Chain A
């Protein structure tokens, strides 16, 4: 059970017998005529709102805090992966995306492959009882997803080599050895987010993403980046589908190109960005050679967090074979 689920379930108000008001409401409802809604509503008493949160057992919830006995004092910030170094190109996003479309269509079709391998990371902090950060290595993960004819069927996560904030290999005594199998999850067909194939028409791509994964960011580009990351976790796009996605991106008003960089696997990429929303900014990295998405990253740009610097990389996903 996840920590969030455990916390919420433990805080669930305890079951109580129906109050006299609830019993009265039930009687009134059962006595009502189905065709006479207005008349019945007058029978439901309106009373001042009040809290009757049911008695809950006060269970002491052990907050799991990993204590690490380090000789060094607590660190000011948790380690986060190095920020991507980006060189501006002077190109505009739309022109560049149209150029990438042409490259994407010239690539071989890998969509029949039965595996998607990615490397990913999310913020990891070990803190002591006072809230001080005591460990700050980065423990990345490698995920291998197995694909059937209609997309993902399962995935397995493996431990990867920890590294420090400068990107150097690090020795984390608490981290599992690289290559250790951590988790295997079966994805049933009804659990797929994208059970049907993406379109090959740029005009249909936005609806396809939104229909399968409704998102509420005010930024269409941010939603598109989240959508493609989720889609590419389940499916390998054909060249035509990749071209359609790029065409869809080219039509978005708020997409920006930041420049060139290298992704976490050292590949040259073009970096596109969504506007910063709620202190975070989503990046999409695309190979200038193949027009295929190689990575996504999320950058924290706020000022109210004390556990990480700003800006800081708080998520990334890199496709080993885009």
Chain B
């Protein structure tokens, strides 16, 4: 039986078996992973993409004993990329490129502002949306998000700030509001 991975995400208790630890990891990360998939590939069968990413993670865990959130999200990003490549091969339109359509919620209505945020996140290029989602929705640490994106932590920091600015610009354009100086990180201004 493989030993637990080094990431704190991977372990719940040293007494747990590998399936138990993976199940805990799955339960903890399933919803954030689904959020990322839905934002990046809204027209896909996102639950299937997430399941495939977890499957690869499970196989990796069984072989190498490592189970980290950064690795999982890196796999999921690849799965999303596969989905786009597959859609292009079929020469079928990718529905998720229609970022102006309504975002529905099966269970409850969301505030207009929340819907605006979702639309803006979907409209941003992946270089902007992924750092934002991984950090603020998936609650990854800087090291985990950087690992998922395959970049250095310092680079993530810069990308995150650039993404914040791009997000605010798009959000304010959508809502007809101007961004004020105080809302833009001073680090961003000089270091993007």
- Would B151 and A214 count as touching, CB distance under 8 A? yes
Q: A34 — which chain B residues lie within 8 A by C-beta?
A: 58-59, 62-63
Q: A70 on the interface (CB 8 Å rule)?
A: no
- Nearest CB of chain B from residue A81's CB, rounded to whole Å: 13
Q: How large is the interface on A (under 10, 10 to 19, 20 to 34, 35 or more residues)?
A: 35 or more
- Would B132 and A48 count as touching, CB distance under 8 A? no
Q: B98 on the interface (CB 8 Å rule)?
A: no
Bound-complex Cα distance A7 to B114 (A): 8
- Residue on A with the closest CB to B152? A212
Q: A54 — which chain B residues lie within 8 A by C-beta?
A: 31, 107
- Would B192 and A230 count as touching, CB distance under 8 A? yes
Q: Which of B22, B55, B183, B184 has the most CB of A within 10 A?
A: B55
Bound-complex Cα distance A46 to B30 (A): 17
- Nearest CB of chain A from residue B139's CB, rounded to whole Å: 9
- Would B108 and A230 count as touching, CB distance under 8 A? no
- Would B47 and A22 count as touching, CB distance under 8 A? yes
Bound-complex Cα distance A193 to B162 (A): 14
Bound-complex Cα distance A55 to B158 (A): 32
- Nearest CB of chain A from residue B52's CB, rounded to whole Å: 7
Q: Which of A8, A37, A192 has the most CB of B within 10 A?
A: A8
Q: B48 — which chain A residues lie within 8 A by C-beta?
A: 44-47
Q: B186 — which chain A residues lie within 8 A by C-beta?
A: 120, 141, 143, 157, 182-183, 185
Q: B77 on the interface (CB 8 Å rule)?
A: no
Known contacts A48-B45, A125-B178, A127-B178; A22 and B30 CB within 8 A of each other: yes
Q: A118 on the interface (CB 8 Å rule)?
A: yes
Q: Render B163-192 as a binary contact track against A, CB cut-off 8 A, 1 for contact.
A: 111011001000111111101111101111
Q: Render A204-235 as a binary contact track against B, CB cut-off 8 A, 1 for contact.
A: 00000000111010000000001001100110
- Would B154 and A8 count as touching, CB distance under 8 A? no
Known contacts A29-B54, A29-B55, A193-B158; A52 and B107 CB within 8 A of each other: yes
Q: A13 on the interface (CB 8 Å rule)?
A: yes
Bound-complex Cα distance A298 to B151 (A): 26
Q: Render B45-73 as a binary contact track against A, CB cut-off 8 A, 1 for contact.
A: 11110111011001100110000000000
- Would A21 and B47 count as touching, CB distance under 8 A? yes
- Nearest CB of chain B from residue A139's CB, rounded to whole Å: 6
- Nearest CB of chain B from residue A235's CB, rounded to whole Å: 12
Known contacts A4-B164, A5-B164; A190 and B192 CB within 8 A of each other: no
- Would B189 and A315 count as touching, CB distance under 8 A? yes
- Would A44 and B55 count as touching, CB distance under 8 A? yes
Bound-complex Cα distance A125 to B136 (A): 27
Q: Which A residues have a C-beta under 8 Å from some C-beta of B?
A: 2-5, 7-13, 15-16, 18-19, 21-22, 25-26, 28-30, 32, 34, 37, 40-41, 44-56, 58-61, 63-66, 78, 118, 120, 122-127, 131, 133, 139, 141, 143, 157, 182-183, 185, 190-193, 195, 212-214, 216, 226, 229-230, 233-234, 307, 315, 317
Give 15 A-B pairs besides A7-B113, A54-B107 with Cβ atoms closer than 8 angstroms. A3-B183, A4-B163, A9-B137, A11-B117, A22-B30, A22-B51, A26-B54, A44-B48, A47-B47, A47-B48, A49-B42, A56-B110, A185-B186, A213-B158, A229-B191
